[in-house]
Structure 1
């Protein structure tokens, strides 16, 4: 259970950094936007709402990586071998697009612009951040 929560936090952090670096990634909440429009209050609740939105998308991304990615990786094993593993970047980008599609049915919307390279660069950034954060002592059980 602890490693699942740590993985959600790492995914949320990685998504936040990727959306900060790349202008084509965006996470928005329709509920927070409506609350600000009604009350005019943007302090406190806005920051908590944004953090919760990134954690929520991190949960979706974690579930997609836990259940869908192994199947896609297995089915694409021949092309991954032919490309010497570089096709895994395309698989990670596809998982981001799947996360974006799933989140479109929730109050939190994770959007990627139509430019495919944005998803590829985001996949590289998220992978590097996840690898670095996974090496932090206490973030991973042995």
Structure 2
């Protein structure tokens, strides 16, 4: 079964609005949206990434990714290491403090969402809970 383009568009708009509103309502601890996307990537990944890889994933320009990395690095949330395959380049990875900060940010958003879910009927909450694994699969399909 597929849904129409209009239904897919409405789902995208709703998911984006929900994500933005959760981020606004939860404390981001001074982390900017692009920095948050970079920190999310580096916290989920096993290994370090180069700036170009980060820019492609976020997506943003390489200068924007560089600025985000510099801000996160100065906050101690990520660190650089030399790229073993290219002596001119470096790779970045989340520090333990960075992974912890990302988890705290996610927990803050989850708390806001939990409060909002309390306004729904139990069958609606159940339906959303059942959809969570499907949304995760869709999100990971592009990775």
| TM-score, with length taken from structure 2 | 0.30
Normalized per residue, the structure richer in helix is 1
Higher relative contact order (CA 8 A, sep 6+): 1
Q: Which has the larger radius of gyration?
A: 2
